[in-house]
Each structure stands twice: as structure tokens, then as C-alpha cells.
Structure 1
Amino acid sequence: MIRHKFYPTAVLSTALTLVLPVDSSQAATSLDRVNVTANRMARTIDETLAAVTVITREDIQNSQAKDITQLLDGTQGVTMSSNGGLGKATGIRLRGTDSKHVLVLIDGVRIGSATLGTTAFQDIPLAQIERIEIVRGPRSQLYGADAVGGVIQIFTRKAKAGEGISAEAEYGSHNTRRLALGVAGGRERVDYSLRVADLRSDGFSALKNNNPDEDGYNNRSISGHLGYRLSDEMKLSITALRAAGENEYDSAWGPTDLYETDFLQQAVSGRLEYAPGEIWDITLSAGESRDETTNFTNSSFDSTFNTKRRQLSWQNDIALSDESILTLGFDFLRDQVEGTSSYSVNQRDNRALFAQYQTMLGLNDFVIGLRHDDNESFGDHNTGNIAWGRALTENLRLVASYGTGFRAPTFNDLYYQDPWGSSGNPNLTPEESESLELSLRGRQAWGEWNVNLFRTDIEGLIDWVEIAPFTYQPQNVDQARIDGLEAGVSTELAGWHLGANLTLLDPRNRTTGKLLTDRSERTLRFDIDRALGNTEVGATLQARSHNFSNATNTLGTAGFATLDLRVARHLSPEWTLRGQIRNLFDRDYETVRTYNTGGRELFVSVHYQPK
């Protein structure tokens, strides 16, 4: 591994502030948390010029969230929405961009539907997740297409020292049941883990003014990891995650019909790390992901859509000096789709070269990144990023950055055909973005804070346009500008750990002057937690303003605020009993227009984790 003095802690004690979405008791050590997504290498938060949030396994457990939607909603720059509860289609807005503008990785493997262009967050089980890293702002210079709003990387659970068998059981509202069992361990050169989980819920009616039946959800998942250190300089690791199940949902097309989807989400990856010398690290990785859905109406087969993504990566990190690192790499990605819909092209390859230079000059830090993508569907594309950070004082830091990004047209955008005449457009070009950001970050004895100002311009937004009566085709027709402010603070007051995140947005379609759909201009999250001996108590307040659900801004959803309470009792070093009340005041609200939310909910769980 590289050994050098790059970004010494003494200079960067005031670096990027992480305001935790949950368990703000970790605020004192947040700057020491490691992330690998922002720079494609392991760096502590204070060595990263990007805006980063890291959510640990401890955060996940303390939050008592049921799915990723509940976990991430309200973290800095993030809003989540659901079409009706557990397992229902989930949308994400990262700094006001669209769900298609967020790149999602599992253990370094790109996942998601190549036909829809989105990721089924609702089907990725929290029981299998060790850590989530959120990088806000464009990262196309390192990852290529789709990282316009940012990157979310999910890491599956690995072995830890002293681990053995662990188990969890939970029961709650809507007859929700969850069981999880894991085993992990290791020896001198080998570490391993294997975990299985089962989540079932009867659910509730997803869509208002529709068939008032319960829309249930089942998710059965398994994950595994095997690591073997071949020598002091070389390690090989393999990870896998598979989640499959059934989801019942409602549709406005058939108010009395019964709809169901069988789904599969899978990611498998292998990684070889080799350090031939103290100044050079080599990483070779390969992986495959699958996104598969089979749809039924009234128990009769309707359609199927399957995406397979295979990728290879070769990365070299070279320490040019004690203060500088050069990263050079090559990526290969192959997307394949198949199903009941006919595509004139069902496979495309993407090859890319990327480079990144990181250095420190006195009190100044610089990162410069460039990438060239060659895609057989839409040709060549170049992206870049430059960031500068300066320690103004020992406890105050200024960061400025500029970056470009792009979103690739999906297979639906390019090649979809339906029997009524609508079709894709093979002449589409990628959407392109430019982003500017200015951040001020501080760390004082009382806590940490940050303020981020940003602007993102997106050109050539792809929209399906009516070209004849009831006939549609996608075109590069719109432009968007998103201005925003993020502010966060974490502190301790009279034994209470406090964390707050505020996001203000002005997300507009520059062609029409209207607000972009499904974006709230104001969101707030406030967390408060305290340990009282063997008992921990906490609460989360979330609020967001209204938003519009159509392009003309005539239909929308009202703003709302909810309050959640949680408690945990440590019965012994290994056993913990947890309980939660969600939406304490039973507010009737919507995150997506006309779709129901769960009302007041109660959950109780017991956890066994060897120490």
C-alpha cells in the first residue's frame, strides 16, 4: 500500500464536515471516517474535497430504518419518495437532480436498469449493508455516465475482528416481519462472511382512489464475502449480493386489477489489490450486476425486462511525492438488455480512460480529474473536474470546485418500440451538465458545521415529445438550472447529541421557467439522541415544502412534517432490544402525488451481535 504524507492531518483538521443523518453521537469522529467513492481510493473525510456523507452499520442500526428510502431521506442534499411503502418504486433527488442522474454502485459494481435508467433502491436490503457513501456533485470524471447529481456507493457486510454468529428479528405494523442471520470470521490470511435475511410485509393500499387491497412485499436476500491475503503485498476478495422476491402494487391504468412483479437484484464482484512498491498500488476488479423484473396482471404474465451489466477496471495509484498522488485507470462496461419488448440494439460497450492528480501546496489542496468515454451507441465524451481547498484558519476551511457530467440515453430512449407507434430515438445525444460549488466548513470545540452553495446547469434534457396524436418519441429539448444551499451542524448540548440538515433549492426548467417536477424547495431533518446508561433514546423530525407533480406546475403535493421516536435497551453486551414509533402524530401526507403512506407505525426488534 502507498505510504506517504499526503494531506497531513495537522493541516486538514478543518476539512469536510460530515453531518450524520442518524446517531449524531458519532460527530466527534466523523472527520476520521473513510470513504473510497469520492476519489476512487481510501481517504478519510478530511482528505476529500468533495461533499461526502458516510453512513456506517452502527448508524443503520441506530436509525431503525426499514429500507434505504427511510434511511437516506433528509440527509444533506437528499430527498427520497415512495409509491406506497415497502417495496414500491422509489425515487431519489440528489441536489435536485433526477433519479436518472445518480450513479449507484454496489461494492464498486454499477447497478440499475439500463432500460429505465434508474435503480431499484427499494429492493436492496438494509440487513446486507455495511456502509453507504454519498458523494454530492458530479463525478463523471471518475465514473463516466450518469454521475450528474452524484454517486451513491453501497458496501455489503464484511467480517470484523471477533465476529461469529449474529441474528436479528423484528415485527411491526402492516404485519411486517424481518429475520436475519449471519456468520463471519477469519484467520491470519482469510476472512469470510455469509448472511441471509427475509423481509415480509402485508403492506397497505398503495394508490389512493384505487383497489383498496393490501399491497404486500417479500424480499429474500443473501450476501457473502471471502477475502484471502496471498502475501503482504497482495489480496484477493470476492463479494456477492442477491435479493429476490415479489411486490404487489397499484396502477392507475386498471383501478380494479391486481398487479405483481417478481424481481431480482444481484451484484457479484472480484478484486485483486497489489502493491509492488511503497509508492504504487494496483487494483484489478471485475463484476456483474443484474436487474430483472417479471410483471403480472391478475396473475397472468404481462412482460419482462432484464438488464445485465459486466465491467472490468484497472486502476493505478502512484505517489509522486509525499504531497502528490497520480491515478491512472481504464474501465470497460457492457450493458445488455432482453425481455418482451423489442430493441433494435440490445447490447452496447463503453471503454474509458481516466486520470486524477491530487496534491498539496502549503495550505492549499488541489484535485484535477479527466476522463474520456468511448461508447458505441453515442460516441466519445469527455468530462473533467477541478477542486481547490484552503485552510483559512486551523478550524475553518474554504473549498471551491467545478465539474462536468453527462447522462447517457437509456435503451428505452434509444431503441424502444411499442405496438402503437411510439419509439426511441437513436439520434439522441447525452444530457450534459456543468456544476459549480463553494463550501465553507468548520470544526470547533462545540461541534462541526458546513455550508455549501452550488449551481448545476443541465443541457439537452431528454423528454418524450408527442410527434403525432398519441405517438411519442424522446428528444433533447429541455434545459435545467438548479441553484441550491446545503447547511449542516452537529453538536452536543447537556448530554444530547444534535444534528441538523437543511437543503434549499431553486430547481427550474430554463425552457419554461417552471419548477422541475417532484422537487421540494425546502427540506429539513433534525436528529436528537442521548444515552442514559444502558438505554438510548432519540427522535427525528423531517419536514419538506410542497412540490409539483407536472411540468406546468398545476398539480402537486402539500408540504408536511413528521416526527419519529426510537428507543434501544442494551440487555447485555451482545443483546439489544429496539423499538420505534414512526409518524407519531399519524400525519396523512404524500411523497408522490396520490400515493399513500403508512400512517403511524410501530416496530419492535431484538438483535444479537457478539462483541
Structure 2
Amino acid sequence: MKKYAFAASAATIALAVSGQAFAQESDAFSTALADGAVTELAPVTVTTPLRRPTTVLQSTSTVTVITEDDIEKSAAPDLPSLLKRYPGVNITTNGGQGATSSIVLRGASASQTLVLIDGMRVASATSGTAYISNIPLSSIARVEIVEGAHSAEWGADAIGGVVNIITKDGSTCENGASVCTTVETGVTYPWGGYGTVSTRGVSNSGVNFNIGLSLLGTEGYDFTTADNSVHEDGRDGFLQGAFNFALSKDFLWGRLYTSGLYVRSNPHFDSAPYADWMTGETVYGANEADQTNAAFKVGAEVDHSDTWSSVFELYSAFDYQKNFRDGHPEADTHYDTNRYGLSASTTKEIQAGAALNTFTLGAEAYRETVDSSVEYTETARDVAAVYGQYGLELDALTFNAGLRYDYDEQFGDAVTYNVGLGYELVEGLTARASFSTGFNAPTFNDLYWAYDGSYVGNPDLEAETSKNWEVGLNWAPTDTAAIDLVYYENRIDDMIAYVSDPVTYIGTMENIDKAKVSGVRATYSQMLFDDRLGLDFGFEYRLPKDETDDVYIANQNRLKLTAEASYAATEKLNLNAGIEYVGSRWTNADNIEYTNYAQYQLGAYTLVNLSAIYAIDETANVKFAVENLFDEEYQTAYGYKAPGTTVTLAYRRTF
């Protein structure tokens, strides 16, 4: 760990490099390192908001960036625990490590939030959600979170926003060598441990590479509450192995690259046996799974000139889940998704006087296939799209616009667009506004589930659609402070909801609901004491309303407060502390107190997290971290206990 690892600039704070993520950043700030040197930081570049490299302010969107340094300093043992401490992000988990988790942005559902790995969509085509618990922190270089509808850039499922998880590449070695190997091992409570090894660098032939392996295991705890109908006594453990790689090489004409992530795990969960209501026989369901997730791509970037480049990519991603119970083969089920895709885009910059015009044209296509123990009337679908984006930079003005056409052989076509405007009112104070549309494709479960006696899919479903607008201000009053404030509204139409026939009680899905999610989100960051102390605060209040029935959307919190402090106590010791408060939320769509429900609301909770990193020398450190210091008892999903106190002690060394 470098001795200035916790000294951060206001720009870096604004992008969540030292704790609480900020939505925007100013053009550049200078930072005073612990040794007194001053380094000018260039604007941080992101690719997710407009599907091309821009600074955060140029994107005119609300953006959060989580860096590799953030991950290292965090007390979080897994990806869901890391993401949930950021404003605008809502995480629901059915237990601890390895449990099913979902991510929600701006009150949209998990299937309305697009999750990518290195720009590749990885969600299950049957459930419509990504298994984020199976993406190890050890493989992640950064996470870009973009809020609001972004279907004009990425297509289906980007109603609430996009989470792009970017894996590690062959970045510069910490010890200054051309090639280095980093080893980390740790123990955790509840009892478990992990080990990672990665080698990265640049070969003599100019190949930039990274290869990583990780293994994690924990005995876990009993995930479910006693009143949960699936409750079984006993701990729910988790075992995970992962491999990731990245290779690239620069040429005079451009760059060739490839990357991949493969993860396999064995999560345990509760599924209590029950008596069949007709026969009285005991029915056993699966209580553990083999979960496999992977994403691979190969690409080429061609530089036609200094102002014109094109990108071509092929990718494959899959989500395999096999559920089983030892000794009961009748409980076996599997849900496998395969996705194969290709994309091409070209970007041209044209300078016209003081105006910089950027044009992007692109096309992509992918095929989804499903193989399952459950019968589906259709098992494949093809999707194709073309899109265009335009950007203008003229003095204090930034303008973005985009248009996309998607064709899905299952539900037809969709046209989406985005418009964004930013203007620097005075030095350091920038106003922004944007409007965008989105859509969410129905899942295979929604569409094609064959009749099983109680439920049948509806092949006539249409896509859910949305309109999102936001206005915001970003202000850097000094070189060591930054403030961001945004108000947003997201309207969702034709929401897919479960309905049941009043006579036959046979259920299906229909487009019937409307929702409106509005909210205000604010963040503030400040560096003090010669940049030794960094403070970050976040606030979000939102109203997730089902307008069809004029009630709050179930399982959506309305208030979230966060605070982070990062302190360079000495040149070797760095301390971090964080507090997260989440308000209460309804567990039922009617927002009423059911007498037969043990809980009709999930209560508010407050979490305190701590971490300390001590640099033994320039190449080695030890880390002590505690998540949920005061062992707060809380739930993010009804009937499932969230993790209690989690302690990690780790050692890391780079050779």
C-alpha cells in the first residue's frame, strides 16, 4: 500500500474514490499527497453513460464510480455488501454470502436494472436478473453505476439504470515492475476464508495481461427466520471458485483485446419439506445449488485517424443454475441461459471552430437460448439493434442526444432516445438536465412457461416502457469540496404483473400496472487537515408509487442516509468508517397490516462498518475489517436475516 493511498482529491472524492460516491466531477483538481507533492489529476473517464469515453460531467447523467482502491479499503466481503452503501442503490438479499441478491436503481425492479460485465449483459433469461452474489470482488477493477433510463445506449432492461462491472486488466504494477504477482489471503467470521492470486503486467512483446484465481468459502449462518415457510435449521454455507483474465496488445493501427470471467459456486439455502395437500406425501425441494456464471469477449479497436475509431466485439455469456437436495433426485431442477452476441460501433470527432462534435453509430445482435428442466413453449429468441449518439462541447455548454431501434423477434420493436444538457453557470458550478426513455423485455418465465396446473406464460406480453427526467447541480466551491444535487422522476408504463383467474385460479402475467418513482439525491464531500481526512455524505429520499392502486411499491425503501470517513492516521496506517441508515418499507403491495403476517413492514436499520489497513512495507499490508459492527438485526427481504457482524483479517503482498 503506497503511503499516500488515502490522500484523495476533491475530484476523486466526487467519483467515490474515497468512500461515498459522487454523481459528477469538476474538470480537474490538484491533490496534496502525504509527502507534500502536488499532482494534477485529469478528469475521470467513464464509458457506460454514452457507450463511449467521456468525463462524468460530459455524460449529463448521475454516475457513481467505485474503484479498485475503494474495494480494497471497504469492509464489504462481497459485491452486494459493497454496492448497498452508495446512494441511489437498493440491494435486496435472501441471506448472506452466496444468497440470491438483486440490485435496484431508482425504484425500478431488479429485472428493470441492467447488469453488465465488461459491457456484456449477464442476466438469466428465465428470471431476468443477474446473480450478482457470484461475482467475486477480487476480479473487479471498477464499477460504473449510471442511474435513469439508458435503453438508447444499451437496449432492453435499462429502465432504472445500468451497472457495468469492469474486470481487472494488466494495469501498472504497484511495485513499479513490468510484471508482478499479488497474493492475498484472509479469514472471516462467520468462519471461513479466502485466497486470491493474480499476475499482471506487460510482457517483452508488449502484451498487457492479467490472470487471476480466487477461492472463497464460508460456513455461513441460518438465513431464514423461524416464521419463514421454507425455514430449515442449520447454517447455509457458500463455496466459490473464480478465474478471470485479460489480454491486449497495441499496434500502429489500434488494439486487439480479450477478457473473461468464469465463476462456479455451491450456495446453500433453506427449502423445508412439506406435505402435498392432495396425497399427504412429503415433498422435498432443493436446498443447494451449483451456480455457474461466465462472460467472455474478444475485440478489436481500429484507429482510422486521431479523430476516428471503430470497435468490433464478439462475446458469449451464460448463467447456469442446477438446484438439488442430497438423497432426493426428484428435487433436481436446472435453468440454463446461453447468450451469444456481436457488436460494432464507430466514433468520429469533428472540430468546427470552438465546437467539438462527436458522432457515434453502432449496431449489435445477440441470441438467447434456454435449457431447463421446466418446459417452455419457446426456448430461443434473437435481438438486433442499431443506435446513434451525438455529443457537442462548446465552451461552457455540453449537449448529448441519442436514438436507438431494437428488434426482438418475440415482442416486436422498440424505439428509445435520450437528450442531455449541461452548462457551467460560473466556474465550478454546473447545471444539468436530461430526459430519456427505456424498456424492459419480458422474461422467458413471463412469456413461455408451459401450463403446470396453476400458472402459464403469456406470449402476448409487451415490453415495459419508461420515461425518466432529471435536473441537477454540481458545485465545487473549493479545491477540497464538492456537492451534487439531483431531482428525478421515472414513470413506468405497462408494468408486468401477476394476475389470477377468479374462477380457475390459474395465474399468468399481464401488462396492467403503472408506476412513478420520484426522488431527490444529494452528496457532499470534503477534504480536511492537508487531505489526511476525507468526509463523504449521501442522502436520498424517494417516493416509489404504484399509480395503478395508489400505493407504495413493496420492498422499496424511501429514505437512505450514508456517511463515510477516511483518515490517514500515519504514513502506514489508514482508517475508514462508514454509517448507513435505511428507512422502513412495506412488504406487501397493499400497504396494509395483514393480521396473518408476522411482518407487514421491514423496519429501518443502521449499519456501522470499519476497516484499517497497515502497510508493513511498500509491497505488503494487513487489513482488519468489520461490517455491521453492532450486530444490527435487520432484513432486506421478508423472512430472510441479513448478515450480522462480519469480521475479516487479511494479508496481501505483491512480488
With the length of structure 1 as denominator, give the TM-score of the two structures. Answer: 0.94
Quote the residue 1:278 is aligned against: 306
The equivalent position to 2:62 in structure 1, one of 51, 61, 70, is 51
The equivalent position to 1:507 in structure 2, one of 534, 539, 544, is 544
Aligned mates of 1:573, 1:14 — CA distance in 2: 25
The equivalent position to 1:493 in structure 2, one of 514, 518, 528, is 528
8 Å CA contact retained: 2:190, 2:647: no
Residue 182 of structure 1 pairs with residue 198 of structure 2: yes
Residue 232 of structure 1 pairs with residue 262 of structure 2: no
Quote the residue 2:486 is aligned against: 452
The equivalent position to 1:392 in structure 2, one of 425, 429, 452, is 425
Pairing of 1:418-567 with structure 2 (within 5 A): 418-445=451-478, 446-467=480-501, 468-494=503-529, 495-533=532-570, 534-554=572-592, 555-567=600-612
Residue 166 of structure 1 pairs with residue 197 of structure 2: no
Quote the residue 1:7 is aligned against: none
Q: Give the counterpart letter for 1:602 in structure 2.
A: V
Aligned mates of 1:435, 1:341 — CA distance in 2: 36
Question: Cα gap change, 1:558/1:530 in structure 2, threshold over 3 Å: closer, same or farther?
Answer: same
Question: Cα gap change, 1:521/1:24 in structure 2, threshold over 3 Å: closer, same or farther?
Answer: closer
8 Å CA contact retained: 1:202, 1:214: yes
8 Å CA contact retained: 2:21, 2:64: no
Question: Cα gap change, 1:350/1:136 in structure 2, threshold over 3 Å: closer, same or farther?
Answer: same
**Offset, 1:258:** 6.3
**Offset, 1:254:** 4.9
Quote the residue 2:365 is aligned against: 332
Question: Cα gap change, 1:14/1:442 in structure 2, threshold over 3 Å: closer, same or farther?
Answer: farther
8 Å CA contact retained: 1:17, 1:442: no
8 Å CA contact retained: 1:21, 1:74: no
The equivalent position to 1:306 in structure 2, one of 313, 322, 336, is 336
8 Å CA contact retained: 2:580, 2:607: yes
Pairing of 1:150-161 with structure 2 (within 5 A): 150-161=161-172
Aligned mates of 2:581, 2:101 — CA distance in 1: 18
* SS class of match (2:462): coil
8 Å CA contact retained: 2:286, 2:323: no
Quote the residue 1:606 is aligned against: 651
* SS class of match (1:249): coil
The equivalent position to 1:357 in structure 2, one of 390, 395, 400, is 390
8 Å CA contact retained: 2:14, 2:21: no
Question: Cα gap change, 1:146/1:386 in structure 2, threshold over 3 Å: closer, same or farther?
Answer: same
Question: Cα gap change, 1:470/1:606 in structure 2, threshold over 3 Å: closer, same or farther?
Answer: farther
CA deviation profile, 1:545-588 (whole Å, cap 9, x unmatched): 10111111231210010111111100011101000122222211
8 Å CA contact retained: 2:217, 2:239: yes
**Offset, 1:46:** 3.3
8 Å CA contact retained: 2:495, 2:513: yes
Aligned mates of 1:24, 1:594 — CA distance in 2: 30
8 Å CA contact retained: 2:242, 2:261: yes
CA deviation profile, 1:116-162 (whole Å, cap 9, x unmatched): 00000000111111111111111100111000111111111111223
Quote the residue 2:16 is aligned against: 20
Aligned mates of 1:51, 1:23 — CA distance in 2: 17
Question: Cα gap change, 1:366/1:15 in structure 2, threshold over 3 Å: closer, same or farther?
Answer: farther
The equivalent position to 1:319 in structure 2, one of 314, 324, 349, is 349
**Offset, 1:91:** 1.7
* SS class of match (1:141): helix
Quote the residue 1:131 is aligned against: 142
- Structure 1: which 5+ runs fail to align? 1-12
The equivalent position to 1:80 in structure 2, one of 91, 114, 119, is 91
**Offset, 1:24:** 5.9
Aligned mates of 1:89, 1:538 — CA distance in 2: 28
The equivalent position to 2:242 in structure 1, one of 179, 204, 221, is 221
Q: Give the counterpart letter for 1:310 in structure 2.
A: Y
- Structure 2: which 5+ runs fail to align? 1-8, 31-40, 276-283, 593-599
* SS class of match (1:323): strand
8 Å CA contact retained: 1:258, 1:299: no
Q: Give the counterpart letter for 2:166 in structure 1.
A: F
| Deviation larger for 13-22 or 33-42 | 13-22
Aligned mates of 1:73, 1:55 — CA distance in 2: 12
* SS class of match (2:49): coil
| Aligned residues: CA RMSD | 2.1
* SS class of match (2:447): helix
CA deviation profile, 1:194-227 (whole Å, cap 9, x unmatched): 1100010100001111222000001100001111
Residue 195 of structure 1 pairs with residue 212 of structure 2: yes
8 Å CA contact retained: 1:33, 1:54: no
Question: Cα gap change, 1:604/1:154 in structure 2, threshold over 3 Å: closer, same or farther?
Answer: same
* SS class of match (2:215): strand
With the length of structure 2 as denominator, give the TM-score of the two structures. Answer: 0.88
Aligned mates of 1:480, 1:166 — CA distance in 2: 48
- Give the share of equivalent positions with the same residue, in percent: 27
| Deviation larger for 30-39 or 581-590 | 30-39
* SS class of match (2:268): strand
Question: Cα gap change, 1:470/1:295 in structure 2, threshold over 3 Å: closer, same or farther?
Answer: farther
Quote the residue 1:251 is aligned against: 271
* SS class of match (2:73): helix
**Offset, 1:469:** 4.0
Aligned mates of 2:491, 2:13 — CA distance in 1: 25
Q: Give the counterpart letter for 2:646 in structure 1.
A: E
**Offset, 1:76:** 2.3
**Offset, 1:228:** 2.0
Quote the residue 2:613 is aligned against: 568
**Offset, 1:363:** 2.2
**Offset, 1:532:** 1.5
CA deviation profile, 1:257-302 (whole Å, cap 9, x unmatched): 7600101000000110001112211000110100000001344342
Aligned mates of 2:286, 2:318 — CA distance in 1: 26
